[in-house]
Amino acid sequence: MAESEVKRMSMIIRVLRRHYPEAKCSLNFKTPFQLLVSTILSAQCTDDRVNRVTPALFKKFPGPKEMAGADLKEIERLIQSTGFFRSKARSILEASCSIVEKHGGEVPGDLDSLIKLRGVGRKTANVVLGTVFSVPGLVVDTHVGRISRRMGFTRSHDPEKVEQELMRIVSRKDWVEYSHLLIAHGREVCTARRAYCEDCPIRNYCPKVGVLNS
């Protein structure tokens, strides 16, 4: 990766940091387990919807031991509005059982162990690692992938390939923050429906690649 791209990325992060000083994980949680469950629920669902669903879920099943002993149909009922609820409920139940049986009831703090849990891919694992364990991880959700392509840092639509490409040009210390910044930017300015380039704080650093179809 050219040194110029590393410098351009550094400038973009600096500008976005000033523009979105409060950028952080928008899921509500009290424990690593609750963040894990919330992130599983966030697939194909807004964080706002997840935050409306989880209070009742965590009131009844606050930790992995309680969730592991839950009835699958009850979990499905509580999370139904998040979409794909049957698959998500099965993932939450089986992941909870694995945490209890294999990890002493504690969410593991390493990538390899996390991605072995049902329903947990690299995106979910990196959210948990970066947010509660302070382990640098670069989360590639739809916002991060879309905006990184528009900025010309990747052409790939494969999240894992995008992650690997970004890790080469984003400073390790900025991995977690980069994801939060792009998610905030993707919600406010560089949306999926339209890129509001005229209002964009990083327009001078962005080649606007495929802004209509990225």
Dist. CA 139–CA 177, nearest whole Å: 10
Dist. CA 212–CA 64, nearest whole Å: 43
Residue 141 designated active-site:
yes
Residue 116 designated active-site:
no
Is the Cβ–Cβ distance between 31 and 110 less than 8 Å? no
Q: Could you tell me the CA-to-CA distances from 71 to 64, 78, 93, 102, 105 in Å, in that order?
A: 13, 11, 9, 20, 18
Measured CA angle at 212 (ends 207, 214), to 5 deg: 75
Dist. CA 46–CA 51, nearest whole Å: 9
Catalytic residue, from 141, 161, 174, 208: name it: 141
What's the one-letter identity of residue 33? F
Dist. CA 166–CA 154, nearest whole Å: 8
What's the one-letter identity of residue 192? A
Q: Strand, coil or helix: what is 195?
A: strand
Q: What are the residue numbers of the active site?
A: 123, 141
